[in-house]
């Protein structure tokens, strides 16, 4: 029986377990990446592991999230990451060099390799045939130390693309269509593997737009084959030698199949406040808009910038609209500057931002009150833009640019012929903003530079015999990590300071939660389905841990967040009967008796709601390793125990 591309890469990297779907497997990781907002914690954890030098083929530390330096905190963190990278064999991409995923795709990613990153959009690397996955910072630290990365052996979904996109319909519309069909939960436990005739007409950056936003499906990752298009891209990056041809066997067996005829797609938009709330631009109608933001790791390639410039050329941004544009990398920025594309954008009135995440993570450009903002980004969760009552829509760069001119939601197909994109034979290659690590000989003398904002991270205690605690918070379905641990310009500088950042935990849902949790001492949180979707931020586990959260009981979890909870010794419980969710109320006193014994030796988990006087059943499926982590109070304790 033939193998899918996903299975081929897994087969070449499996170091623990067997390729049986639904079981836990350990993978050797070839490359890692971190970004600054999750990086400080990941490197503190790496330090705690006591490994001198990374054991991967390539590890890169990027600075791209916390680039608004309105206090000393972010700059201090950048310095810390730069110094620790130098000491331990990690390449350091300086602020200004671009967004981690865009730069990694351009300069470091390799087909057939495994990559994990402390950022949920690491699957961008699937655009060149990598098995690239988002992970918690601690998992990345372990992989840097040479440890395996554990996932559930995924199901593989064939996304069969046929036909060709019509003018002004783009890769963003493809992934929006997938989200429309499958929802933000549709990819959980699965890898989305793209194939079919239709992929031939998609460039590497277009493929990367699709794999990037595959994160919004909750998928383990998404991947394209490595073919002539990949080779041409790598050649233009001066990295021809990194090319290997890779695809699924002709007789590969997939678990599911989705067919998409590219020629039938139309411009789409994800409406507030979820990436799967997708409608066609036509259907949405000409609603008035206040802001347009173009950029982010989803849509900031040279191809995107050129299309936008073509639309804006010789025109002026509508008087009621603020348009910002952030090119994804220094390479893209430099190229558009040299060829004159940048000057077209400036002349039209675009506000040019540095190559970084920027508005995507609420680092500036928050919309006006009740503002309607069109963004080429990948997430439009409530409050993420920094304006709680803003209405954020996710669209293609084409829809964004046209609408910026008209001041209303506009279908880009109304503007005539689309010019072809001709990829440069050679991109502007200049890695002068990537600092090489110190040599083995020099490393011991490299001093680690720590600022006062960097506080030690909390470490859990071993799991107690029983958990007895109040439900200090009850939330609904699809709670994102942006609800649990919001980001934005004000809160992100506290990423290295768990006590301080905990003050904002869950404040999107309930401003009084941190105080209540602290007063209670220990807490249980009750949630709906897909709890913890979105980012990989470990802070969504670390802050609750600091606030005394012992267990989460919900209908289902998102993959990375569940792992982050286990890594930090917080018990992830699921209702056996979802209807029990309705019966529990915030404030109820809960007892989970004998839990240590049950985690260790198995058995039924019975939860008592003492306040309501009823019992219900919960489950917690853990691998042997997962059990070890839960009992020890997290991965770090577990690693120490098993050393």
The residues that touch ligand MIC, with contacts defined as CB under 6 A, are 37-38, 65, 119-121, 134, 361, 379, 487, 534-537
For ligand SF4, the closer CB: 119 or 290: 119
Phi, psi of 103 (to 5 degrees): -65, -40
For ligand MIC, the closer CB: 460 or 535: 535
Per CB under 6 A, 174 contacts ligand SF4: no
Check if the beta carbon of residue 4 is closer than 8 Å to that of residue 254. yes
The DSSP letter of residue 448 is P
**In angstroms, what is the minimal distance from the CB of 295 to ligand SF4?**
7
**In angstroms, what is the minimal distance from the CB of 39 to ligand MIC?**
9
CA nearest 208: which of 116, 65, 105, 361?
A: 105
Other residues' Cβ atoms within 10 Å of the Cβ of residue 447: 8
Per CB under 6 A, 360 contacts ligand SF4: yes
For ligand MIC, the closer CB: 299 or 535: 535
Using a 10 angstrom Cβ sphere, with 0-12 exposed, 13-18 middle and 19 or more buried, the burial of residue 334 is middle
For ligand SF4, the closer CB: 158 or 384: 384
Per CB under 6 A, 491 contacts ligand SF4: no
**Footprint on residues 279-308 left by ligand SF4 (CB under 6 A):** 296-297
User: With CB cut-offs between 5 and 8 Å by kind, which of ligand SF4, ligand MIC, none does residue 44 bind?
Assistant: none
Site string for ligand SF4, 568-607 (x = CB under 6 A): ----------------------------------------
Residue span binding ligand SF4 (CB under 6 A) among the ranges 356-364, 439-447, 489-497, 574-582: 356-364
User: With CB cut-offs between 5 and 8 Å by kind, which of ligand SF4, ligand MIC, none does residue 330 bind?
Assistant: none
Give the C-alpha separation, 78 to 64, whole Å: 10
User: With CB cut-offs between 5 and 8 Å by kind, which of ligand MIC, ligand SF4, none does residue 138 bind?
Assistant: none
User: With CB cut-offs between 5 and 8 Å by kind, which of ligand MIC, ligand SF4, none does residue 530 bind?
Assistant: none
Strand order in the sheet with 291-294: 278-280, 268-270, 391-394, 372-375, 291-294, 322-325, 351-352
**In angstroms, what is the minimal distance from the CB of 601 to ligand MIC?**
35
CA nearest 176: which of 10, 15, 378, 40?
A: 378
Q: Which residues pair with 149 in a beta bridge?
A: 27
User: With CB cut-offs between 5 and 8 Å by kind, which of ligand MIC, ligand SF4, none does residue 99 bind?
Assistant: ligand SF4
Structure tokens at 111: 């087909």
Structure tokens at 419: 């010019």
**Footprint on residues 369-408 left by ligand SF4 (CB under 6 A):** 377-378
Classify each residue of 245-276 as buried b or exposed e, where b means 16 or more C-beta atoms within 10 Å of its C-beta: ebbbeeebebeeebebebeebebbbbbbbbbb
**In angstroms, what is the minimal distance from the CB of 81 to ligand MIC?**
13
Q: How do 549-554 and 571-575 pair as beta strands?
A: parallel
Interacting residues of 276 by C-beta distance below 8 A, sequence separation 6+: 179, 180, 182, 183, 184, 186, 216, 270
**In angstroms, what is the minimal distance from the CB of 26 to ligand SF4?**
26
Task: Give the residue, chosen from 270, 292, 357, 479, that forms a contact with ligand SF4 under the rule CB under 6 A.
Answer: 357
User: With CB cut-offs between 5 and 8 Å by kind, which of ligand SF4, ligand MIC, none does residue 296 bind?
Assistant: ligand SF4
Site string for ligand SF4, 45-84 (x = CB under 6 A): --------------------x-------------------
Query: How many residues of this chain bind ligand SF4 (CB under 6 A)?
Result: 11
Give the C-alpha separation, 507 to 38, whole Å: 20
Per CB under 6 A, 208 contacts ligand SF4: no
Per CB under 6 A, 635 contacts ligand SF4: no
Give the C-alpha separation, 604 to 309, whole Å: 61
Per CB under 6 A, 121 contacts ligand SF4: yes
Give the C-alpha separation, 620 to 462, whole Å: 17
């Amino acid at each position: 029986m033939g193998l899918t591309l996903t299975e081929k890469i897994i087969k070449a990297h499996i170091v623990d377990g067997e390729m049986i779907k639904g079981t836990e497997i350990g993978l050797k990781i070839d490359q890692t990446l971190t970004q600054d907002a999750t990086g400080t914690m990941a490197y503190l954890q790496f330090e705690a592991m006591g490994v001198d030098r990374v054991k991967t083929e390539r590890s890169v530390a990027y600075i791209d999230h916390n680039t608004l330096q309105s206090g000393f905190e972010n700059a201090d963190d950048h310095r810390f990451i730069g110094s620790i990278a130098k000491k331990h064999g990690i390449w350091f991409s300086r602020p200004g060099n671009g967004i981690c995923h865009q730069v990694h795709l351009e300069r470091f990613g390799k087909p057939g390799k495994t990559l994990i990153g402390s950022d949920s959009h690491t699957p961008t690397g699937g655009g060149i045939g990598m098995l690239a996955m988002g992970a918690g910072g601690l998992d990345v630290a372990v992989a840097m130390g040479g440890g395996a990365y554990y996932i559930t052996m995924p199901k593989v979904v064939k996304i069969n693309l046929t036909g060709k996109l019509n003018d002004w319909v783009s890769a963003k519309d493809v992934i929006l269509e997938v989200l429309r069909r499958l929802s933000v939960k549709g990819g959980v436990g699965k890898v989305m593997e793209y194939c079919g005739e239709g992929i031939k007409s998609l460039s590497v950056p277009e493929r990367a737009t699709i794999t990037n936003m595959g994160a919004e499906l909750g998928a383990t990752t998404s991947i394209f084959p490595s073919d002539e298009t990949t080779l041409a891209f790598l050649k233009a990056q001066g990295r021809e030698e990194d090319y290997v041809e890779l695809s699924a066997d002709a007789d590969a067996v997939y678990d599911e199949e989705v067919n998409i005829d590219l020629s039938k797609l139309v411009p789409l938009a994800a409406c507030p406040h979820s990436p799967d709330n997708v409608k066609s631009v036509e259907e949405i109608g000409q609603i008035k808009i206040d802001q347009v933001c173009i950029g982010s790791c989803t849509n900031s390639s040279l191809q995107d910038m050129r299309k936008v410039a073509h639309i804006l050329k010789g025109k002026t941004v509508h008087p009621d609209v603020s348009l910002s544009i952030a090119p994804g990398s220094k390479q893209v920025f430099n190229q558009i500057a040299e060829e004159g594309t940048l000057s077209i954008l400036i002349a039209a009135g675009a506000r040019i931002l540095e190559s970084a995440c920027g508005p995507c993570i609420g680092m500036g450009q928050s919309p006006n009150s009740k503002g309607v903002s069109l963004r080429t980004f990948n997430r439009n969760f409530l409050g993420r833009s920094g304006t709680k009552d803003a209405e954020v829509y996710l669209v293609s760069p084409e829809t964004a640019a046209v609408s910026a001119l008209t001041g209303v939601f506009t279908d880009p197909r109304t503007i005539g012929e689309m010019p072809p994109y001709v990829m440069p034979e050679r991109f502007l290659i200049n890695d002068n903003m990537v600092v090489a690590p110190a040599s083995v000989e020099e490393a011991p003398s490299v001093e680690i530079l720590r600022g006062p904002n960097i506080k030690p991270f909390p470490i859990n205690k071993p799991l107690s015999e029983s958990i007895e605690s109040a439900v200090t918070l009850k939330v609904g379905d699809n709670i994102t990590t942006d609800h649990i641990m919001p980001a934005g310009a004000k809160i992100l500088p506290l990423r290295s300071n768990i006590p301080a950042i905990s003050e904002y935990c869950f404040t999107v849902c309930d401003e009084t939660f941190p105080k209540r949790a602290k007063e209670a001492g220990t807490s249980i949180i009750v949630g709906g389905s897909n709890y913890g979707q979105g980012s990989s931020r470990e802070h969504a586990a670390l802050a609750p841990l600091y606030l005394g959260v012992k267990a989460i009981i919900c209908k289902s979890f998102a993959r990375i967040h569940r792992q982050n909870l286990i890594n930090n010794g917080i018990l992830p419980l699921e209702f056996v009967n979802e209807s029990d969710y309705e019966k529990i109320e915030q404030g109820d006193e809960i007892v989970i008796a004998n839990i240590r014994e049950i985690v260790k030796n198995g058995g039924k988990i019975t939860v008592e709601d003492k306040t309501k006087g009823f019992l219900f059943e919960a489950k917690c499926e853990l691998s042997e390793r997962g059990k070890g982590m839960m009992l020890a109070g997290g991965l770090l304790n577990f690693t120490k125990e098993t050393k």
